[in-house]
A and B are shown apart, each in its own frame.
Chain A
Amino acid sequence: MIPLSWFLYLSAVLFSIGLYGVLARKNAIAILLGVELMLNAVNINLVAFWRMGNLALMTGQVFAIIVFAVAAAEVAVGLSLVISVYRRHNTVIADELNLMKW
């Protein structure tokens, strides 16, 4: 029997690590890796609240599934953008993609 708080703290730790990855990494692909960690942290929360709440209400699990779909779509589009950028500029370092900056 695991109390709700354990899941919430685990999720908070995972979310913060993901946030650090998004902010600190240079490589665009590594930034997307951090985003995946954050999405998973959210999913742990959703499923934990489903389990601890009313089991007949499937909202938590349904939301987690929709997060799966969104994550898959996000990674597919994000990585294809990264590959496209790599073809044009021969780099995937986010700092070097500064065409829009002046």
Chain B
Amino acid sequence: MIDASQVIFLLSAGLIVVSAVMVVSVRNLVHAALWLVSTLFGVAVVYAVLEASFLAVAQVVVYIGAIAIMFIFAVMLTRRDLLSKSEQTNANWVWALGLAAIVFVALAFIISGYGASLNRLPAAMPEGYDPISALGNALVSPEGFALPFEVASVLLLAALVGSVYVALNKAKE
């Protein structure tokens, strides 16, 4: 007998897999980016099923609100190839498909090798335990992840400066 959370998981997993296949197979790149949005939304639902509410919402804000929009902008700015109805896969796509299949089989083999420990079920959330404040404390406390967190912010700043510099039109020179 399956319960409500399993139904939600299966629906979102179906959404994720179908739209991920569409991302890598449709010709129109704007459609590919929109299918990516639906994949990412499915992943956000999976986070919600896992009771990682902060990550679920952050997934929508960061991925859909920023990354997917950036993709759509980039596709529109390189518009010549958007209109062409030519083949979107390269000559080696059969090999790529084979390799991806091999990777999946290998991963599934490794996963199934763990046997009974895979049937582990999530423990109930302790009463009064707030994962969000625990996450916040872990991110900024020196015993936790303060240093990686700061390094990530420096990385974002470097990416911001770097991408502006690279994409800037140097026509004035």
B residues touching A (Cβ–Cβ < 8 Å)? Answer: 3, 5-6, 9, 13, 16-17, 20-21, 23-24, 29, 32-33, 36, 39-40, 43, 46-47, 49-52, 54-55, 58-59, 62-63, 66-67, 70-71, 73-75, 77-78, 80-81, 87-90, 92-93, 95-97, 99-101, 103-104, 107-108, 111-112, 117-123, 125-126, 129, 131, 134-135, 137-139, 144-145, 148-149, 152-153, 155-156, 158-160, 162-164, 166-167, 169
In the complex, which residue of chain B has the Cβ closest to the Cβ of A82?
Answer: B74
Contact status of A79 and B131, CB under 8 A, knowing A25-B90, A72-B156: no
Contact, CB under 8 Å: B134 / A58: yes
Interface string of A85-96 (1 = CB under 8 A from B): 011001111110
B83 CB, min distance to chain A CBs, angstroms? 13
The binding surface of chain B is classed by DSSP as helix
In the A-B complex, the 10 residue pairs with the smallest Cβ-Cβ separation, listed nearest first, are: A21-B24, A23-B96, A73-B159, A80-B167, A20-B100, A16-B104, A58-B138, A80-B163, A5-B118, A24-B96
Name the B residues within 8 Å of A23 (CB-CB). Answer: 92-93, 95-96, 99-100
Q: Give the shortest distance, in Å, between B148 (CB) and chain A (any CB).
A: 6
Residue of B nearest to A3 (CB): B119
When chains A and B are docked, how far (Å) is the Cα of A91 from the Cα of B81? 8
Cβ contacts under 8 Å, B148 to chain A: 62, 66
Per a CB cutoff under 8 Å, which of B39, B119, B149 touches A4? Answer: B119
Q: Is the CB of B97 within 8 A of A24?
A: yes
- Contact partner of B158 (CB less than 8 A), chosen from A26, A32, A51, A73, is A73
